[in-house]
Every structure is written in structure tokens, then in C-alpha cells.
Amino acid sequence: MKFDLSDDQQLLRSATADFLASECPIDVVRQVAESKGEGFSRAHWSKLAELGYLGLVVGERHGGQGLGPVELAVVCHELGKACFPGPYLDVVLAAKALEESGAASDVLESVLAGKSIAVLARRDTVWPGDKSNLRFSGDRVTGSSFFVPHGASADRLVVVAGDDVVLADGPFDVTPMPTLDEAQRFAEVKLDNPARRLGARGLVDALDDLAAVAAAAYALGLGEAALQRSVTYSRQRETFGKPIGSYQVLQHRMADMLLRSESSRAAVYRAAWSLAEGSADAGLVVAAAKAYAVESACAITRDSVQIHGGNGFTWEYDLHCFLKRAITLDQHYGTTIAMTDRALVAFEATL
């Protein structure tokens, strides 16, 4: 099967790349991410809303772009290359849940306009086996949700509480949950807030494949950016009078990095296409793409640090940003272990 982006998808990719290059170069990304603020720029957020990115997969009748998994993969691919901070994917998923529920058109309109932020809150425990205390009763949701992405910036939360999915109104009682990646501001949210039911748990579960494809595409971008930085550095850095890239051992390592990157590209876009087409094997290829692309991004970014030698470990170089984001993606939107298991189960079912 030969797959290539359509003219419109190519245009979307170019427009996204141009926007990120002009508005969010890595020095700006780091300044925003390392600040004591929200971890992302509200100015950038307003521009994302103005350009229609927040409603990328929301239907046109609700004010969105009406696009699908392939286009979301294209955008997240470019966001990964820029190591773009903020809750973009989480807001896109929350907006899709709001659209599918049909119960909060007013909130959806505000989210797509960039006037308010809504994210998914679906982790009801920290460790497997812990007991959840999240409850929805009447018109209130109570209990704690963990690892809520940018929970301190959220105006509303789409909360998975037992078998219900509810829309909780802020403000929220938030406790930061620092992780390896300082740009991704996770939080514990203690809830005792007014809420309305959006639907059953399946409303959010149905978005798992879309989330996995988008996260895999983001990881693909991280790996590509790290590889390009390694190639550039290997051409500039000299030892014994010649570039380190002329040494075969580094050439072999970068060839392995390229193999992982190109294999991830094939896996990610095959998964996005399969999901868009509703293919019978979509669950299998999506799980495989998420597991492989993220694992590859972690390997590529680690190798990139090694190729940069002692410089690679310093804060001044940007490589740690890409490495930390790859490791973060490994634990969210379906862990690599969980996705590998899911892919194996799906594959065995075809035998």
C-alpha cells in the first residue's frame, strides 16, 4: 500500500510548520515551559483558536473544521518537532467528547474560541489497585482525579466518574503533581463541584484510539527533531581534525535512529488512515503504532544525548526537552506496555 498526504493535508502540514517556526521556536518554547506560569502561552493559545486548530476534529456544524485522524496526526507530528508545550491534545479530545455528548454546546463553543479550557480528567487513582473515591450524584461530582493535564489552567473538566462522564465547572482545588517534564503541568484535582452528565463512560473510551494516534504522531515529531539535531551536530563537532559524523560508529547509530524514525512514520500514518477509514484492524495498528513510535522516540532522544557527548547532558542544550516529553508520552494515552499487550491480543485474534 502506498500512502501519501493529500494536497489539503500537505497544506495543513506546511501551515502548521510555518506557524510553529515563527511563533514557537525552541527558545520561546523553553522560556514558556520553564517559567512559573501555566506552562504554555495564552497568546499562542488564542492564535491556535483563531486558526481553527482547537476544533480540528469537531464537526463544522459545531464550529469545528470537521477533519479526522490523519489531519490530527499531521498537526501533532509538527507539534512534536517543535516540542510544543500545553494541553493541545487534551483540549482537542475534551472538545470531541463535548461534541459527541450533544449536551454542552455552549461550553464547546467557548472552548473552540479559546475563551475557556476544558481537559479530560480520567485518572481516578495514582496506582493500579487503589480505590477510587470519585462519585457523581445529583448535580455534583466529588472525589479526586489525578494527573490531570494542566488542571490548574482548566475552567472545566470532562471527568470520568465510575460509569459516568460528567462536565465539572470550576474553579477547582488543585495540587501540582510535578513530573520529569516541567512543561507538562499535571495536577491532582479535589472535586466537590457542580456538574452535569454528558454520557456513559464509553463516550471517553471511544476516544482512546484517536488519542493514541495523536500521541504517536507527537512522538514521531520528537524523534525526527532529535535525529536532525544529532546529524547537524555531528557535522559541526570535530575531533582530531574531522567531524565526528565521519566516524563509522556514529554513522551506524544515526542509521539505526533513522530506521526507527522512518518505521515510526509508516506505523503512525497507517494507524491514522486505518482509524479514519474504520478498518477492521484499526485497533491493532493503532496500539502497535503508539507502542512503537513512543518507544522509538525514547530511544532516539537518548541516542541523541549520547551523540552530543557531555554537551548533551547540559541544561543549555535542548535535547532534554525532547527526551522528557518522549518519556512522558510513554506513560499517557496508553502506556507502551499496555499498548504492546493490546496489540498482541488483537493480533492473536486474527490467527
DSSP string, 253-284: HHHHHHHHHHHHHHHHHHHHHHHHHT-TTHHH
Mean predicted confidence (pLDDT) in 218-222: 98
Answer whether residue 1 shows pLDDT above 80: no
CA–CA dist 82, 218 (Å, integer):
10
Backbone dihedral region for residue 161 (phi beyond 0: left; psi -120 to 50: alpha; all else: beta)? beta
Mean predicted confidence (pLDDT) in 152-173: 95
With CA atoms as reference, report the closest residue to 220 among 153, 155, 157, 301: 301
Query: What's the grid cell of residue 333?
Result: 494515552
Answer whether residue 142 shows pLDDT above 90: yes
Q: Indicate the CATH number for domain 207-349.
A: 1.20.140.10
Q: What is the pLDDT of residue 44?
A: 93
Residue 208: pLDDT band with limits 50, 70, 90: very high
Residue 189: pLDDT band with limits 50, 70, 90: very high
Pick from 72-76, 262-266, 288-292, 347-351: least confident: 347-351
Answer whether residue 33 shows pLDDT above 90: no
CA–CA dist 52, 46 (Å, integer):
10
Answer whether residue 292 shows pLDDT above 80: yes
Instruction: Provide the CA 335 distance to its chain's centre, in angstroms.
Output: 12
Q: What is the pLDDT of residues 222-247, one digit of tens each?
A: 999 999 999 999 999 989 999 999 99
Q: What is the pLDDT of residue 69?
A: 97
CATH of 118-201, one of 3.50.50.60, 2.40.160.20, 2.40.110.10, 3.30.479.30: 2.40.110.10
CA–CA dist 261, 226 (Å, integer):
10
Residue 202: pLDDT band with limits 50, 70, 90: very high
Answer whether residue 45 shows pLDDT above 70: yes
Q: What is the pLDDT of residue 34?
A: 87
Q: What is the pLDDT of residue 134?
A: 94
Residue 185: pLDDT band with limits 50, 70, 90: very high
Q: What is the pLDDT of residue 279?
A: 93
CA–CA dist 349, 351 (Å, integer):
6
What residues have CB less than 8 Å from 1, skipping those under 6 apart? 270
What residues have CB less than 8 Å from 93, skipping those under 6 apart? 119, 120, 207, 210, 211
Mean predicted confidence (pLDDT) in 86-112: 95
Q: What is the pLDDT of residues 323-340, one digit of tens each?
A: 999 999 999 999 999 999
Residue 115 phi, psi dihedral angles, 5° rounding: -80, -25
Q: What is the pLDDT of residue 21?
A: 95
What residues have CB less than 8 Å from 41, skipping those under 6 apart? 28, 32, 86
Answer whether residue 216 shows pLDDT above 90: yes
Q: What is the pLDDT of residue 311?
A: 87
Architecture of domain 7-112: Orthogonal Bundle (1.10)
Q: Are the C-beta atoms of 109 and 99 separated by less than 8 Å? A: no
Answer whether residue 2 shows pLDDT above 80: no
Mean predicted confidence (pLDDT) in 148-167: 95
When the pLDDT of each residue in the chain is averaged and rounded to a whole number, the result is: 94
Q: Are the C-beta atoms of 84 and 48 separated by less than 8 Å? A: no
Which of 213 and 37 is assigned the larger pLDDT?
213
Q: What is the pLDDT of residue 312?
A: 87
Q: What is the pLDDT of residue 129?
A: 84
Answer whether residue 94 shows pLDDT above 60: yes
Instruction: Provide the CA 288 distance to its chain's centre, in angstroms.
Output: 16
Spell out the domain ranges in the chain: 7-112, 118-201, 207-349
